[in-house]
Amino acid sequence: MAEQPTPSNQTPLTIDDRARQHGRLGLAPSWQRIPWWGVIILIFGVLVGYSMLTNARYLDAIAFIFDLPWDRRPLASQQLDGGLEWRLQPVRPLEPGDYTLYPQFQDDRGDTIERGPEIRVRVPRATLAIDGPAITTWGDDLITLETSIPTFAGAAPAAQSVVLVDDFSDRPLRIISTMLLSNGVFLTFRVTVMSFAGALVLGLIVGLMRMAPTSPDLTEGLRLRLLVGVGLWGLLLLFLPSWRQLPAAAISLMVVEAMAFLIPAMPYTLSTLYVELIRGVPMLVIVLYMGFAITPALRDASTSWGLGIIDLRGLPAATIALAFGYGAYLAEVYRAGIESIPRGQMEAARSIGMTYFQAMRHVILPQAIRVVLPPLGNDFIALLKDTSLISVVALPEILQQGRLWISRNFRAFEGYNSVAMLYLIMTLLLSLLVRALERRTAIER
């Protein structure tokens, strides 16, 4: 009969073994790894969060930063100034569809004191924006409009202002679209996702260019490149007749041929110049330069060249600036990930007949992506925080919404606390996702 092991010679169970006994599939119980100071911070965070979420000023600031409500929006407003009647017309033409409208009366602080009756209207397709008689009958009957800018009128109570509200609380799809396109938190997420997607593509291209030879053989294929340069020079003169004069034609030919001669060295040179230049400039300067230097210059140039108005003000300029800035950092992440793959992988792929690009696509990059996923997640979190910089171009993201709320209520303490709390919650949640991603993609050694 086999001898039973004594407790003295048993191997002690690790945290992971105890986790498997509890059915956690090898994931260590999180509570057993939280240090004492982590417990104190957690308790303090719960108390602070509870205090903030039970304070009316904090709730108002958070609602403003989230751009609430999402189930209704104002169409027009009017100061009453003691008048007995109000008369409102939507600022923008109404899109075709059904609407539920009602007047909302407010005091001098902007708080609602009374809500008027509802009216249901329908705007048919191809309705023109023409003036029409004022609608004064309010009720449950559906009214088909003959204009997309109708006028509504009625009696006014003792109030300072009236707002015409479009209520769509019974339409989930419209609520979701309004929520996703709202300012504040969701604008921050939109800018973060779009900028990071652009930075991923730009960083990958620049990272691969950084892997090019630093000192290539410029004589290889030189004749073909020079002939192609002559062809490009001919096309240049064809589309720019003013350059056909002798001095301009000679200078342009020398420039084109010089570029054709240096083409093998350009990938590494241009990518290195981009990375070193952009990483040496603060992100705020890049955002300001894109918003107030590049955007106006591009708009003026497109107008003078007859290309129409290319206007990148607002969201496009901010997204391009952040993507362009973070592309330099992600390029170094990609380069480090590619260089971490042993050289034998490339040699083995080339030995079985793969070209350089096939080996890079099917062998090197799949392994490198697995290595660079955690740092890419950290850069996504850093980009989320750096979206606060786009407030300098007047985009209503989280920080700008908080500043607008402070300017209206003169409560800087609650406003900035709300902004900091929202950023902290988002970054902590993303940090947990990045850690989970690291565990799932970790390479066993």
- pLDDT tens digits for range 235-264: 888 877 777 777 888 888 888 888 888 788
Q: What are phi and psi of 99, to 5 degrees?
A: -135, 145
Give the Cα separation of 390 and 388 in Å (integer): 5
Instruction: Print the domain residue range for 79.
Output: 72-170
Asked if residue 14 belongs to a domain, the reply is no
Reported as a single tens digit per residue, the pLDDT across 335-370 is: 999 888 888 888 898 888 888 888 888 888 888 888
139, 170, 201 - which closes a domain: 170
Give the Cα separation of 303 and 82 in Å (integer): 48
Q: Residues 378, 419: one domain?
A: yes
Confidence of residue 5 (pLDDT cuts 50, 70, 90): low
> Quick one: average pLDDT of 99-121?
88
Let me know the angle formed at the C-alpha of 74 by 69 and 76, rounded to the nearest 5 degrees.
165
385 with 426: CB under 8 angstroms? no
Which among 65, 73, 96 is positioned nearest to 175, based on CA atoms? 73
Asked if residue 231 belongs to a domain, the reply is no
Asked if residue 80 belongs to a domain, the reply is yes
Q: In this prediction, what percent of the chain has a pLDDT beyond 70? A: 90
Let me know the angle formed at the C-alpha of 223 by 219 and 216, rounded to the nearest 5 degrees.
25
Beta-strand runs (E) in 89-159 = 97-106, 112-115, 119-123, 142-144, 152-155
CATH number at residue 430: 1.10.3720.10
Q: Token digits for 420?
A: 């900091």
Asked if residue 4 belongs to a domain, the reply is no
Q: What is the pLDDT of residue 347?
A: 87
102, 135, 170 - which closes a domain: 170
How many C-beta atoms lie closer than 10 Å to residue 302's C-beta?
Answer: 14
The pTM of this model reads: 0.81
Asked if residue 243 belongs to a domain, the reply is no
Q: Residues 210, 142: one domain?
A: no
Q: What is the pLDDT of residue 264?
A: 81
The H-or-E segment that residue 79 falls in is strand 72-79
Q: Residues 306, 163: one domain?
A: no
Q: Residues 286, 364: one domain?
A: yes
Give the Cα separation of 161 and 112 in Å (integer): 10
Q: Residues 192, 99: one domain?
A: no
Q: Residues 273, 416: one domain?
A: yes
Lowest mean pLDDT segment, chosen from 20-24, 129-133, 292-296, 332-336: 20-24
Q: Residues 143, 207: one domain?
A: no
How many C-beta atoms lie closer than 10 Å to residue 380's C-beta?
Answer: 20
Q: Residues 139, 283: one domain?
A: no
Give the Cα separation of 383 and 195 in Å (integer): 8
What's the half-sphere exposure (Cβ side, CA atoms, 13 Å) at 280? 6
Lowest mean pLDDT segment, chosen from 32-36, 214-218, 279-283: 32-36
Give the bridge partners for 163, in sequence order. Answer: 77, 104
Q: Is the pLDDT of residue 11 over 60?
A: no
70 with 175: CB under 8 angstroms? yes
Asked if residue 232 belongs to a domain, the reply is no
Structural domains in the chain (count): 2
Q: Residues 333, 396: one domain?
A: yes
Q: Residues 316, 406: one domain?
A: yes
Q: Residues 291, 318: one domain?
A: yes
Give the Cα separation of 3 and 1 in Å (integer): 6
Q: What is the pLDDT of residue 250?
A: 82
Asked if residue 208 belongs to a domain, the reply is yes
Q: In this prediction, what percent of the chain has a pLDDT beyond 90? A: 41
Asked if residue 323 belongs to a domain, the reply is yes
Q: Residues 89, 203: one domain?
A: no
